[in-house]
Amino acid sequence: MSSTHSQAQWPEPENHNHNTFRSHPIWDVSVAPPPGGDRWTTWDELGLARGPEPWPDWLITSGDAFDTDLGVLKTGKEADVHLIERVGPDGRSCLLAAKRYRSSEHRLFRRDDGYQAGRRHKKSREQRAITNRTAFGRTVVAGMWARAEWAALVQLQTSSVRVPYPVSFDSNELLMEFIDDGEGNAAPRLAQVRPDPEALTLLWRQFREIVLALAATGHTHGDLSPYNLLVAPGADGGPHGQLVVIDLPQLVDVVVNPDGFDYLRRDIVNVTSWFAAHRARVDAEELFAEALAALY
């Protein structure tokens, strides 16, 4: 979900949620392709990385499930995101977001130099190829972005930062939790909401907590804006929403990266400016100072 500054055109699938039960027939799993679906689930594929246990109750993990592509949610420079419905043999279903990184010749990793600064690779051949931007080097960098986003999502599952649950990952597809609005449609981006003063205050507090929690691990998002913060229903069902951070392949180590402090400041200023434009009394420099104090 690359942070483009234009509103995505979200499809409007049937009204689903994570606990929806639909009437699907039981099928013979020896039949291929699956009736009613595009493919059998990838859950049981060898070599597939799976999300951390315990797996969420809403996630379908049956090897007899099938997946149906419901359309494109978002297109970006590095990847496209599709909406996937997974249906189990008992008729239970869940929605997933499938981020599919493009083949190396079609990827546009033009802004990665700064994010890669400070990162080193075990194989000198890979490091030289990356430095020289050979075809092999571009392939290595592209794969690094995919793996980096998976690793960031897994790492942040144990933090207070709300991110989509990472379901599985293989060489070209990252499956994750689909963040909805409580009614089966895509949750809006922060840039799309018009909160009242009370909601604005609560959202700012959440943003501050996200910045400080990331800083406590030594990191910043690296490309944070109101376009890659989703506003999902509150955990307690409250009306004001919960911020969910997306688009994490460029997660920056603030201390190791020579421009890390600049990325941290930029992340804060980008989002603080949105709050200020909505008449919230906020101070980017004050939050930046707090984040510096929270590092490690």
pLDDT at residue number 130? 42
Does 35 have pLDDT greater than 90? no
| Bridge partners for 105 per DSSP | none
Query: 32-41, 78-87, 212-221, 272-281: which range is least confident on average?
Result: 32-41
| Bridge partners for 72 per DSSP | 82
pLDDT confidence tier of residue 45, bands split at 50, 70 and 90: confident
List, in sequence order, the alpha helices (H) in 93-192: 112-116, 124-132, 135-156
Name every residue whose Cβ is closer than 8 Å to that of residue 5 and which is 6 or more positions away in sequence.
Answer: 225, 227
Q: Tell me: the pLDDT tens digits for 134-159?
A: 555 455 555 677 888 999 999 999 89
Q: In angstroms, what CA-CA distances link 122 with 23, 128, 182, 260, 261?
A: 51, 11, 44, 22, 26
Q: Tell me: the pLDDT tens digits for 94-149?
A: 999 999 877 554 343 344 555 445 555 455 554 554 454 555 545 555 567 788 89
Phi, psi of 285 (to 5 degrees): -70, -35
Contact of 164 with 179, CB cutoff 8 Å? yes
- Residues 159-172 have a mean pLDDT of 91
pLDDT at residue number 238? 56
* Residue among 134, 150, 153, 37 nearest 91 (CA): 37
Contact of 69 with 47, CB cutoff 8 Å? no
pLDDT at residue number 100? 86
pLDDT at residue number 109? 36
- Residues 169-174 have a mean pLDDT of 83
Query: How many Å apart are CA 204 and CA 281, to the nearest integer?
Result: 10
